[in-house]
Structures are given as structure tokens and as C-alpha cells.
Amino acid sequence: MEYSAKVLEHFANPHNVGKIDDADGIGEVGNAKCGDIMKIYIKVQDDVITDVKFNTYGCASAIATSSIATDMIKGKPISEALKLTNKAVVEALDGLPAVKVHCSVLAEEAIKAAVKDYYDKNGIKYDEELFKPDNCHYTHEH
């Protein structure tokens, strides 16, 4: 299986690893089929994600996608973070092996889950459609 240099770099030296104790939102998603579990913590100020950390238990692709996805939303408005797609994550990593693309979906879903948690905790109204899981991504086996 061929990994891009960027995937290997983010796997070997992942950015934003850790936990935010007083996080404003926490999103945890997992794919039981392949054992990848991703937990993302966000700090929010004035609708901007000021800090983000993650803990991921999983394969190189899951760790690399968590790392680059957190880089991509840090310092960005929530509205922009919610638009982050797994396709953008894959492109930022210069591609992923086809059987690993589902890992990038986990990053997208963990971010959405963290934002939803933030909205719920603060009683902020949101459009349910934004947070509907798209389960068609989970057809690949490891």
C-alpha cells in the first residue's frame, strides 16, 4: 500500500495531539469495523475555533487525517470548519489509498460531532441536516 510523503509525515509527527481539559466541544466517533476511534476537542471564542486537539486510536491514515484536519480548522470560523470535507482532507494529504479513504470521513465526522456538542452545551440552534451521518462511507474493510 502506497502512502504519500505527507501521510507518513503526519503519521510520524502528528500535529495537535492531546486533550483540552476545558474543551467547549468534544466529538468522538469510531468505526467498529476497523477499530479506528477518533476524539476531537475544540475551544471556541466568538464563533472561531481557537484551539483543537485530538486523540486517535487507529491506523496511519486515521492519525494522519486527524492531524491535517485539525490543522485545517484551527483558527477558522465554525461555519468554515463544518464545510471541511473528507475529499479536502484527502487532497491535503496528497491522496490516500482507496481502502483508507474512510479514515478521512472519520475526521470530518469527529469535527462535526465536536461542533454539535459545543452547540448543544450552549443552547445554540442549528440545522439538524448539517450533522446527519452519511453511512455509505463505511463499506470498505481494512
Q: Is residue 15 within 8 Å of residue 67, measured between CB atoms?
A: yes
- The pLDDT score that the predictor gives to residue 129 is 85
Over residues 84-139, the pLDDT tens digits come to 999 999 999 999 998 888 888 899 999 999 999 999 999 999 988 888 765 444 43
Going by DSSP bridges, is the β-strand pair 48-57/36-45 parallel, antiparallel, or unpaired?
antiparallel
Report the distance separating Cα 140 and Cα 36, nearest Å: 13
In 3D, which of 82, 61, 50, 49 has the Cα closest to residue 14? 61
Over residues 44-75, the pLDDT tens digits come to 999 999 999 999 998 899 999 999 999 999 99
Q: Say how many Å lie between the first and final Cα of the chain, rounded.
A: 12
Q: Which residues are catalytic?
A: 34, 103
Its pTM stands at 0.89
- The pLDDT score that the predictor gives to residue 33 is 73
- The pLDDT score that the predictor gives to residue 104 is 87
Question: Helix, strand, coil % (nearest 5) of the chain?
Answer: 45, 20, 35
Is the pLDDT at 2 greater than 70? The verdict is: yes
- The pLDDT score that the predictor gives to residue 134 is 57
DSSP string over 27-75:
EEEEETTTTEEEEEEEEEETTEEEEEEEEEES-HHHHHHHHHHHHHHTT
Q: Who wins on pLDDT, 80 or 140?
A: 80
